[in-house]
């Protein structure tokens, strides 16, 4: 395997600066060793079904890299997609750091490179679950894992479980709290959300999402069953899985690319278990009236006797 030198790029120390031109098709793997850095600028690179292996720092700027077979971002390496694009056909491995503004990585076939994996936008980073404590009254923690394509990312600090939330349906409460998170960079994207609660904690509860739902003129705000809802129970806990789409059902932020998502397991009562005051029968009411009358008579007699004396 030999390193690929980017034709048309001028080295300046350890930095390669793009010349904003189209670079001929390469037929060798592109290796960027640790400590090295490169900037594609406005350039375009066709790798001819070979690999990109990053050990250093690559900044795409507004550049485009196409016909890549596999991409590997090694531990300690940095890929700044910026507003650029990278097209690969097969494996995406990120053990380092990937940042993006409006750019993307897309899995698509190229000449001699069939697609292996799911075609379309690539999940740039392996999603990391966020563990948050359950509110007062709950026991233990919940683990929230959100997966989405491209540069769609969840701010870990936005993942919360609150004891209060949007107005709950009648005769219901949220004993496990209300899960919230905010994801950005998700224009028209669909997220897969997985929330793991302590084993057995969802027994008797109904999982609902809050937000806009319905289509056209029938759209309304409220609690509803989320799209693709599944609930599984095992030794690892009670796992809730569902999907939410940017500006689709349940997205509480109308900003394109931003998804705000409340969800809660609800304890919904049909009213039969609401405590009621027991009613007395007619004879019991008559007896109670007589007892109250006698009590009043006894209370007034000493006073009357004293006045007569």
Domain boundary assignment for the chain = 10-121, 130-268
Distance in angstroms (rounded) separating the CA atoms of residues 47 and 67: 5
Q: Which helix (H) or strand (E) holds 196?
A: strand 190-197
Residue 56 has pLDDT above 70, yes or no: yes
Distance in angstroms (rounded) separating the CA atoms of residues 22 and 45: 7
Q: What's the first-to-final CA gap in the chain, in angstroms?
A: 125
Using 50, 70 and 90 to split pLDDT, how confident is the model at 9? very low
Kindly state the average pLDDT of the residues 7-31.
Answer: 46
Strand locations in 19-171, DSSP E? 22-23, 30-32, 37-39, 44-54, 57-59, 64-73, 78-82, 85-88, 92-94, 97-100, 104-107, 120-121, 130-133, 141-147, 153-154, 160-162
Is the distance from CB of 60 to CB of 52 less than 8 angstroms?
no
Could you give the maximum distance between any two Cα atoms of the chain, in Å? 126
- In this prediction, residue 216 carries a pLDDT of 64
More confident residue, 154 or 301: 154
Distance of CA 57 to the CA centre of its chain: 29
Residue 297 has pLDDT above 70, yes or no: no
- In this prediction, residue 3 carries a pLDDT of 37
Using 50, 70 and 90 to split pLDDT, how confident is the model at 277? very low
Using 50, 70 and 90 to split pLDDT, how confident is the model at 265? very high
- In this prediction, residue 217 carries a pLDDT of 60
For 155, list phi and psi in degrees, rounded to 5: -75, 115
Nearest partner of 208 among 161, 182, 239, 169, judged by Cα: 169
The CATH code belonging to domain 10-121 is 2.160.20
Share of the chain above pLDDT 90, in %: 42
The answer to whether the 10-121 and 130-268 domains have the same CATH topology is no
- pLDDT digit string (tens) for 162-195? 988 888 888 899 999 999 999 988 888 888 899 9
- In this prediction, residue 304 carries a pLDDT of 44
Using 50, 70 and 90 to split pLDDT, how confident is the model at 309? very low
Burial class (CB in 10 A: 0-12, 13-18, 19+), 88: buried
Could you tell me the pTM of the whole model?
0.58
Kindly state the average pLDDT of the residues 86-92.
Answer: 92
Dihedral over Cα of 74, 56, 110, 118: its sign: positive
Mean pLDDT of the chain: 78
The CATH code belonging to domain 130-268 is 2.60.40
Residue showing tokens 């569902």: 242
* Cβ atoms within 10 Å of 271's Cβ, excluding its own: 7
CA count, 13 A, side-chain hemisphere, 3: 8
Residue 55 has pLDDT above 50, yes or no: yes
* 3 state SS of 52: strand
Most confidently predicted of 141-155, 192-206, 261-275:
192-206
Number of H helices and E strands in the chain, helices first, is 1, 28
- pLDDT digit string (tens) for 139-160? 689 999 988 876 677 888 899 9
């Amino acid at each position: 395997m030999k390193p690929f030198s980017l034709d048309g790029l001028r080295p300046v120390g350890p930095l390669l600066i793009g010349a904003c031109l189209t670079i001929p098709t390469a037929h060798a793997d592109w290796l960027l060793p640790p400590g090295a850095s490169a900037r594609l600028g406005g350039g375009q690179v066709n790798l001819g079904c070979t690999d990109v292996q990053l050990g250093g720092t690559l900044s795409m700027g507004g550049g485009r890299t196409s016909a890549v077979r596999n991409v590997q971002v090694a531990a300690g390496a940095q890929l700044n997609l910026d507003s650029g694009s990278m097209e690969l056909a097969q494996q995406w491995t990120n053990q380092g750091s990937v940042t993006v503004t409006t750019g993307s990585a897309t899995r698509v076939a190229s000449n001699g490179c069939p697609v292996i994996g799911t075609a379309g936008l690539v999940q740039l980073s392996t999603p990391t679950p966020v563990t948050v404590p359950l509110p007062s009254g709950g026991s233990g923690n919940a683990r929230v894992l959100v997966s989405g394509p491209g540069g769609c990312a969840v701010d870990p600090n936005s993942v919360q479980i609150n004891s209060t939330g949007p107005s709950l349906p009648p005769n219901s409460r949220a004993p496990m709290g209300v899960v919230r998170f905010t994801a950005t960079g998700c224009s028209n994207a669909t997220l897969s959300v997985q929330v793991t609660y302590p084993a057995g904690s969802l027994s008797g509860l109904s999982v609902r999402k809050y937000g806009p739902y319905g289509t056209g003129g029938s759209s309304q705000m409220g609690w509803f069953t989320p799209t693709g809802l599944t609930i599984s129970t095992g030794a690892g806990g009670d796992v809730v899985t569902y999907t939410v789409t940017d500006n689709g059902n349940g997205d509480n932020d109308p900003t394109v690319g931003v998804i705000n998502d409340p969800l809660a397991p609800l304890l919904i009562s049909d009213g039969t278990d609401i405590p009621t005051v027991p009613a007395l029968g007619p004879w019991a009411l008559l007896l109670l009236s007589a007892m109250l009358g006698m009590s009043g008579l006894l209370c007034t007699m000493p006073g009357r006797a004293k006045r007569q004396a």
